[in-house]
Amino acid sequence: MKHDEAIARAAQLKPIAEIAAKAGIPAEALEPYGRFKAKISPEFLAERAGRRLGKLVLVTGISPTPAGEGKTTTTIGLGDALNRLGTRTMICLREPSLGPCFGVKGGATGGGRAQVAPMDQINLHFTGDFHAITSAHNLLAAMLDNHLFWDNPLGIDPRRIRWRRVLDMNDRALRSIVDGLGGVSNGAPREDGFDITVASEVMAIFCLARDLDDLRERLGRIVVAERRDGSMVTARDLKADGAMAALLRDALAPNLVQTLEGSPALVHGGPFANIAHGCNSVIATELGLSLADVVVTEAGFGADLGGEKFLDIKCRQAGLAPACSVVVATIRALKMHGGVARNALGTPDVAAVRRGAANLLRHIDNMGKFGLPVVVALNHFTGDAADEQAALGELLAPLGVPLVSCTHWADGAAGTMALAETVNGLIAAGNARFAPIYPDAMPLADKITTVAREIYGADGIDLAPAAAKRLAAIEAAGFGHLPVCIAKTQYSFSADPALLGAPSGHRLPVREVRLAAGAGFVVVLAGTIMTMPGLPRVPAAETIGLDESGQIIGLF
């Protein structure tokens, strides 16, 4: 079997107009970016608005491990297989961030024969959406500091500035900085910091906005600072919302690409699910639902993070109701959750699979709490033992949850046909009864506690005094109806990444709370999670480069 990179490079891609025609998008609605990718025109988006024809399928997974799970490859393989069955299907994915591409992951376009392409372009600058988001965010930061420099007519309290800067790169040195140094002409020195672009509220707004008007309205609601009396100052107060919208206008159009098997895929928006809501854009999802019988979309990290936020934030705001959920797992990852070291995963261990399956079972139970039927997609590795898979099947059988072994990495759509048939069956049965896990009217602290107890298996939450005070201020300002977006480690149900499996009885330590009024949620930072990641000891960037012919290598 060839390496992912060689498979992607050998693929014979179709002109993007041909892919668009297959999806029901006319050539005149395309704004091409080269031969193999294009944006969809605002006029076509307006024409299709409100036409929900298809069913929505959420692909999520168990708590991730270094062994790998393969949600993106499964999403792509499932979409390809559904199309092969004759079910008109659109795939909706997030755009990769440069940070993890050069950090740990090396790329985020799938793998093997289940990839979206052109791989190198999607993983790097793509159509410039992330650059536009970064620029819009930092324009607001610049206008805020400029306002302070020119006599501060809005009366902003420099000690209560809430708006940090962003960069689409992992750079721990920028987490906490002091800016304004160098004398009076450079402004007043103050503490500041950077988040990664995917954690930006502008990114969240970009992904949750319904159209350009909604985008500008949400941008104007961003709270950047407070006055001494505690009243809030917004981007609209700074007159920044118009220029920010201008920077984002072209980026807001969703991007059309293709899988290696020619399925249409909309790749648009890209927040992380550990520090943001982790879903692709509402605009892309709505467009897919207006064109296809089925839309297959992925939420980041485990079902406790991307899955919960997809359901409690994105679906709540956009009025979406998924028909079913696919939970992705691997035997290798389950063994890690069962206590097996990474270097010993090649040795069959049925007992470890049974122990580690507790993680999968909790994720399945959690999806059921939202009213979603579930199928488990077992991403097959060649070293998996038959008795290990059989043991997992025995655990799932009493729950009535199907277990489907998938070989899409090696076989493409042919390796996920059984999964596609199962998903079609769940959709046809119509048993989904989707509802968010908490109501809008519940107090913010109770919403956090509900997620901690019902989804994470915690006994409750521990609010730092500053966080409790901030929650009270947010509610007093009229934002208590918003959902919560909990930022925590992706590796555990708890805030401790070392607690694998399905820990119970722990507490969720809440250290900080941030209001994202434009996005429409409250960010809750738990444990030691950072909103600006750092690079690992050996970053993927060390092996990324150009070959003799100038082609990019090392993105896998």
List residues with catalytic annotation: 71, 73, 94, 105, 273, 301, 381, 409
Q: Which amino acid is at 119?
A: M
- 189 and 178 Cβ atoms separated by less than 8 Å: yes
List C-alpha distances in Å: 304 to 12, 17, 237, 358, 426.
38, 38, 37, 14, 22
Of 524, 167, 74, which Cα lies nearest the Cα of 313? 524
Write phi, then psi, for 63 (nearest 5 degrees).
Answer: -60, 125
In angstroms, rounded to a whole number, what is the distance separating the alpha carbons of residues 82 and 55?
12
- 518 and 485 Cβ atoms separated by less than 8 Å: no
Region class of 520: left (phi > 0), else alpha (psi between -120 and 50), else beta: left
Write phi, then psi, for 38 (nearest 5 degrees).
Answer: -160, 155
The CA R_g of the chain, rounded to the nearest whole Å, is: 23
Q: Which amino acid is at 539?
A: P
Of 290, 248, 204, which Cα lies nearest the Cα of 23? 290
- 451 and 411 Cβ atoms separated by less than 8 Å: no
- The DSSP code sequence of 12-49 is -PPPHHHHHHHHT--GGGEEESSSS-EEEPHHHHHHHT
Residues whose CB falls within 8 Å of the CB of residue 165, separated by 6 or more in sequence, listed in order? 137, 138, 141, 192, 193, 194, 195
- 534 and 488 Cβ atoms separated by less than 8 Å: no
